[in-house]
Amino acid sequence: MIDVQNQKDYRNLAIDKVGVKDIRYPITVKDKVKKKQRTVASINMYVNLPKSYKGTHMSRFVEILSEYRHQISIENLPHILEEMKKRLKAASAHMEVSFPYFIEKEAPVSKTSGLMEYFCTFKGTLNHGMDLIVGLKIPINTLCPCSKEISKHGAHNQRGQVSLELRFQRFIWIEDIIKLVEECASSEVYSILKRADEKFVTERAYENPMFVEDVVREVALRLDGDENITWFTVETENFESIHNHSAYAFIERRKS
């Protein structure tokens, strides 16, 4: 049977990335407490294509994914990328793995335990060197300092979301980054709160007002102070309770 993909291409134009996108797959990732966590990921896998070839071999991406699906971790991404380069005879390889990650979390007073969902992404690019990025989306509560200051009583607050991306030198646990970020909000959010917890969370938020500007700054300060982090972006989005749109702030920092 003819291998059309393998035919020569005469347009003299290399392709930066070609592969499979939005393939959903059950994966197993590392968990700081339970060693392993099973979840479901959306995955993109690409390689470069030299100018002389007409097409890539799409089925090989899914074969590699199937083989490695129980060993998805930021530590293991380099091996998968090497495998992609080898099996697809490519000079560069890219992989993005996005998945919900769950952490057991106790309510602050009653200590009732429930699972909180965080959204995590691993991105890897293998070229001459290896480039790895960890991304996280972390729900938070923010209470408006202006609204508190100018109002007789109360203050508008809302759910917000901190999204960050990190480059780093040594392995980092998702759990540690989440903790760092949750300390920078008016309050953390929880899946279960009993009445004593709700009182605690309400008062903590009121006593700790934060603009989107404050949240990105606080997160950026902590990441700046961690010499293991070599680059980061952090953004905060508030799903404003008094508007039908979001307030947003963003900081990027490259540490040399």
Interaction residues for a copy of itself, span 150-209 (CB under 8 A): 150-159, 187, 189-196, 198-199, 201-203, 205-206
Amino acid letter at 18? V
Please tell me the distance from the alpha carbon of residue 217 to that of residue 249, in angstroms, as a whole number. Answer: 9
Site string for a copy of itself, 73-112 (x = CB under 8 A): ---------------------------x-x---------x
Give the amino acid at 250. F
Return the number of the residue (114 or 171) whose C-beta is nearest a copy of itself: 114
Q: Residue from 141, 177, 181, 223 that binds a copy of itself (CB under 8 A)?
A: 141
Name the token pair of 17.
Answer: 């990335």
The pattern of x and - marking residues 113 through 132 that bind a copy of itself according to CB under 8 A reads xxxxx---------------
- Among 92, 64, 73, 200, smallest CA distance to 141 is for 200
Q: Which is nearer to a copy of itself, 168 or 214 (CB)?
A: 214
**Run of H or E residues at 60:** helix 58-68
| 70 belongs to the binding site for a copy of itself (CB under 8 A) | no
**Residue with Cβ nearer a copy of itself (106 or 171):** 106
Distance of CA 19 to the CA centre of its chain: 22
Task: List the beta bridge partners of residue 237.
Answer: 161, 248
Task: Report helix, strand or coil for 126.
Answer: strand
- Indicate whether 33 belongs to the interface with a copy of itself (CB under 8 A): no
Task: Please tell me whether residue 62 binds a copy of itself under the rule CB under 8 A.
Answer: yes
